[in-house]
Structure 1
Amino acid sequence: MILTRPLRGLFLGCVAGAAFGLAAVPPSGLSHLVQSVPVETGLGDPGLPYAKDEWVAMIRSARQSLDFGEFYVTNRPHSALEPVLAELEKAGARGVKIRFLLSAKMLGQDPASVARLKAIPGAEVRSFDLTGVSGGILHAKYFLVDGREAYFGSQNLDWRALEEIHELGVRTTDPRLVTPLKEIFGVDWRFAETHKVPDLPKPGIPSTARPDAELVASPPFLTPGDIRPSLGTLVELLGQARQRIRVQLLTYSPVAGQDRFWPVLDNALRAAAVRGVKVQLLVSDWVLGGRALPHLKSLTLIPNLEVRIASIPEASEGHIPFARTVHSKYLVVDDAVLWVGTSNWEEGYFLDSRNVEALFRDPVLATQGAAIFDRLWGSRFAFPLDPGKTYEKRKVD
């Protein structure tokens, strides 16, 4: 999705920020990865829990509050999301305060499920609308439990995200992640009520220190100054890679608007390959037939840079719209740093829309992320992109 951006001058990126080392640090033990994989693929990591189970457990533990920032909600009978929604109803019945932010542009996806959320005792649902501001959307997917624990990642509040899509998220009690996420929710909750961009604290003097767990966010104009903007942080991280970069995404595109080239991340990947870093880019077959395909093909011509396409076959039940794909959005650098987020790598996600990402300078989590990547990269579901081949567009809807 390419989004308009009249607020171009508000980019507060940190590209010129101080460099940080990728030295090994002890894992905090406060965060762990959570997966979803399409059924009938065998792509699950036996050492990682599944979102459908973690979500139920987290909601069940709530005693005071549940705060959700979600792109949309959609369910079907007897799906893996049904126990999650049922647990939310139980939480409301026992007096837990529940607040939902949903993207205004996606409210029509499943009106019955939206109505179900609104019917939960004590629940409040607000619509998040950036149409008149940047043209962006609420694309983040996260929730907070009692202000002490958080979940964020690529899974939408969608039954398909729990059963039929390759996804990656994080469950955490780390205050370095939970506290800024609470701050972001507070900003967005007020914005959804007032429809006015708040006057947020400006960035302070950049610190040369980089914590081993850090939450970053977009868009810059709606992100408090004590939280670094995602784009500048991501470019900085790619610039520090010395050995290997693994990237897995739904979509990747340096094309912005109707006809404009947006080279920020494209340049960072090319520069890494030129300096000898092994770059592996894995994207879903949703890019086939799209405007970015020629650019992706051009990347394959660069030494040290390989692009593969992940293609998940239809389920035995038949075609499921907007499913059977790779939707994870993460990056592993030098087997030492893991980036997990909600943004596809396109301009609008970083400069127009609300997304949240986490950066872990933790070799244990990075190794787990690398294992997830390598399992799919080397599977029968991934193939090298051939720059000389013509591809048919994948049926999505």
Structure 2
Amino acid sequence: MNLRFPLLILMACASLGAQSPVTRLVQSIPAETDLADPELPFAKDVWVEMIQGAKASIDAAEFYVTSRPGSALEPVLSELEKAGARGVKVRFLLSSKMLDQDPVSVARLRRIPGADVRAFDLTGVSKGILHAKYFVVDGREAFLGSQNFDWRALEHIHELGVRTTEPVIVSRLARLFTLDWAFVEGRKLPDFPPQPPMSARSQVELVASPPFLTPRDVRPSIEALVDLLEQAKQTVRVQLLTYSPISGQDHYWPRLDNALRAAAVRGVKVKLLVSDWVLGGRALPHLKALALIPNLEVKVASIPEAKEGHIPFSRTVHSKYLVVDEAHLALGTSNWEESYFTESRNIELIFRDSPLAAQATGIFERLWGSRYAFALDPAKVYERRKVD
């Protein structure tokens, strides 16, 4: 049993005992747009502040890392270097399939004094990847969201995350990191002290994928999302990069599709907002079919190119969240496609009866009603958006 995890929890309890937990939404907004919420902080600032405050440890699990000189990720990397130099233990998990995205930045992480950078590889277990994006500081606070460790995610992509000191979230993220670290080291997966399972009605809940690499007291993300959709009485708002009920070459995976349709049929007003990366893709006919259902609207968000010209894999909507009845929020790292829930490491946070849901509703409606969003026309032929 690794004793580091219980030590982190004790540290968290000691530091949080004198104050109430705080959870706050954190945004990233494409430059040259007017989509920023004036009440919310930006990830580029929050990440720097969190790393500056680190005293003992930073544990990060990220899809990949990529930067460029002068970008918003440079101060973040600089603060990680300073943290390592002052004795903070830095551990980084990166997806094995994405290490070649920016070898220079990966090497920079490896050079941080005392840092340990490992590749997370599910080959032989599934076809999945490490797609989660989070880090835990000193076992006392954490960040999780749609933002990759990518300069573009901080400057040119619409993203949403949370910074939190909520012990339930921080401790369970720390447990998942401990488990995944043991997995990449090839060690026996740790036996965690038993914790009472979270009920489907808990006000704060962490859910995760894939089920085969998740403790039994953590619900699978897909079950939690379907449960929220089935509970909806008035409104459902979903914002995603991509949505598809097609898995593999021709496999139909209707779990979320059926839940959205059922909600609309029983009179719930459903709004689905996806990025223009879906245009020309295999899921487009299914999205058009959804748009024909009464009470179900589908819009596409299209962010114009930056003034500097085309930036590959950017200028898009990458946020991944669900708001139900303006009271319940599920925010995480999964696009709504089967493999994200059955094969890859992803995490969602669920906040019930939370003011965060109202804030997320405002963010959604700001984009939904903006000049960047248009209704999907079932009769129109769309050209594929240039992505790379």
1:164 matched to 2:153? The reply is no
Task: String of CA shifts for 1:101-153, please: whole Å, max 9, x gaps.
Answer: 00000000000000000000000000000121111000000000001100000
* Equivalent in the alignment of 1:369: 360
Tell me: CA distance 1:182–1:199, structure 2 relative to 1, closer, same or farther (3 Å): closer
SS in 2 for 1:116: helix
What corresponds to 1:137 in structure 2? 129
1:333 matched residue in structure 2? 324
Relative contact order higher in (CA < 8 Å, ≥ 6 apart): 1
Aligned to 1:283: 274
Q: Does residue 173 of structure 1 match 2:165? A: yes
Q: Paired residue for 2:11? A: none
Q: Does 1:262 align with 2:237?
A: no
Residue 125 (str. 1) matches residue 120 (str. 2): no
Question: Which residue of structure 2 lines up, in the alignment, with residue 357 of structure 1?
Answer: 348
**How many aligned positions are there?**
369
* Residue number among 44, 48, 51 corresponding to 2:43 in the alignment: 51
Pair 1:191 & 2:174 matched: no
Establish whether residue 381 from structure 1 lines up as the match of residue 369 from structure 2. no
State the percentage of identical aligned residues.
Answer: 71
CA gap of 1:220–1:163, structure 2 versus 1, over 3 A, is: same
Residues in 1 aligned to 2:196 and 2:87: alpha-carbon distance in whole angstroms: 43
Matched, 1:216 2:227: no
TM-score where L is the length of structure 1: 0.91
Residue 142 of structure 2 is aligned with which of 124, 147, 150? 150
Tell me the equivalent position of 2:241.
250
Alignment RMSD, CA only? 1.6
Q: 2:77 maps to what in 1?
A: 85
Q: CA separation in 2, counterparts of 1:205 and 1:29?
A: 20
Taking a change above 3 Å as real, the CA distance of residues 264 and 77 of structure 1, as seen in their structure-2 partners, is same
Shift in CA distance, 298/209, structure 1 to aligned 2, threshold 3 Å: closer
Q: 1:195 to 1:251 in 2, by over 3 A?
A: farther
Q: Which amino acid aligns with 1:113?
A: S
- CA shift, 1:210, in A, is 2.3
Question: Which residue in 2 is equivalent to 1:314?
Answer: 305
Counterpart secondary structure, 1:107? helix
Q: Deviations over 1:245-279 (max 9, x none)?
A: 00000000000011110000000000000000000
Secondary structure at 1:178 match in 2: helix
- Are the counterparts in 2 of residues 76 and 159 from structure 1 also a CA contact under 8 Å? yes
Please list every run of 5 or more consecutive structure 1 residues that lacks an aligned counterpart in the other structure: 1-27
Q: Secondary structure at the match of 2:185?
A: helix
Letter in 1 for 2:281: G
Tell me the secondary structure at the aligned position of residue 108 of structure 1.
Answer: helix
Cα distance in structure 2, aligned partners of 1:163 and 1:207? 36
Alignment TM-score, normalising by the size of structure 2: 0.93
- Does structure 1 conserve the Cα–Cα contact (< 8 Å) formed by 2:21 and 2:167? no
Q: CA-to-partner distance for each residue in 1:294-349, whole Å, 9 max, x for gaps?
A: 00000011000000000000000000000000000001100110111000000000
5+ residue gaps, structure 2, are: 1-19
Q: Deviations over 1:11-48 (max 9, x none)?
A: xxxxxxxxxxxxxxxxx752000000000011000000
1:114 and 2:106 equivalent?
Answer: yes
Deviating 4+ runs (over 4 angstroms): 199-209
- Partners of 1:135 and 1:195 lie apart in 2 by 21
